[in-house]
Each structure stands twice: as C-alpha cells, then as structure tokens.
Amino acid sequence: MSMLWIAVIAASVLSFGQKWLGYQAPPDILERPRIARVTTLLPIALLGALVATQTAASGAEIVLDARLAAVGVGAVLLLLRAPFLVVVIAAAVTAAGLRALGWG
C-alpha cells in the first residue's frame, strides 16, 4: 500500500475520531476559554496559510503569477457575496485565461 493511501485512510479515521471525541468529553472543557480559543483560531490560521502558499508558493520558491490575479478576482466576488462555486470557477477561468494569453 502506498504512503498516500495510508495517509488518506489514517487521516480519515482520525477525522471520525475527532468528531466522536467531542461527544465523549466532559462538557466543562468548554468552560476553559483557552481551549475554545485555540480551536476557533486554528482553522483561521491554517486557511490563511493555505491561501498564501496555494497562491504564491511553487515548490520552495515564491512565484507571483496568474494565481495572484485569480485570487484577487475571487476576493472581489466574495466581497460581492458571490456563492462558493462561482468564486472557485471565476478564479480558475481567470488563471486559465491569463495563461492562454501567455502571462503567468
């Protein structure tokens, strides 16, 4: 079995375990504000980092290309309250179009 399969299965089983654990834990954990704060802030930090690396990283290099323009279009659409799918498709079309024109 490949490493990728092992990671897919292990991460999937762990994901279920995380959900299950929430129902087993004593409810007073919620009253510990630091635990609740870290759990709330983690997705924000991870998603922020993922936006940055997915937009500007290429392997170990920082590359500014068509992706940056595409994410900019996505941000404008999000400001206009466009739905998720519209944002994602518009970003893909922007990047594909710019590349077809030979930029990025």
Partner 1 sequence: MTTAPPAADQGGRGSPGRLRTVRRTGFSIGLATGLYGISFGALATASGLHVWQAMVLSAVMFTGGSQFAFIGVVGGGGSALGAALASVLLGLRNTLYGLILAPSLPHRGVKGILRAHLTIDESAALAASGTDTAEKRTGFWAAGLWVFVFWNLFSLVGALAGQYVADPRAWGLDAAAAAAFLALLWPRLRSGDAVVIAVAAAFIALLTTPVLPPGLPVLAAALVAVVAGLLPSRHHPVPAASSRDGEGATTARNPEQEGER
Residue 12 makes contact with partner 1 by CB under 8 A: yes
The only residue of 1, 11, 102, 103 in contact with partner 1, by rule CB under 8 A: 11
Cβ atoms 98, 104 nearer than 8 A: yes
Residue 64 makes contact with partner 1 by CB under 8 A: no
Number of residues that bind partner 1 (CB under 8 A): 80
List the one residue out of 65, 64, 58, 69 whose CA is nearest residue 93. 69
**Cβ 54 to partner 1 shortest distance, Å:** 4
59 backbone φψ class: left, alpha, beta (φ>0; ψ -120 to 50): left
The dihedral formed by the CA atoms of 33, 38, 40 and 44, expressed in degrees to the nearest 10:
150
**Cβ 40 to partner 1 shortest distance, Å:** 5
Residue 93 makes contact with partner 1 by CB under 8 A: yes
The only residue of 89, 101, 102, 103 in contact with partner 1, by rule CB under 8 A: 89
The SS3 call for residue 18 is helix
Residue 1 makes contact with partner 1 by CB under 8 A: no
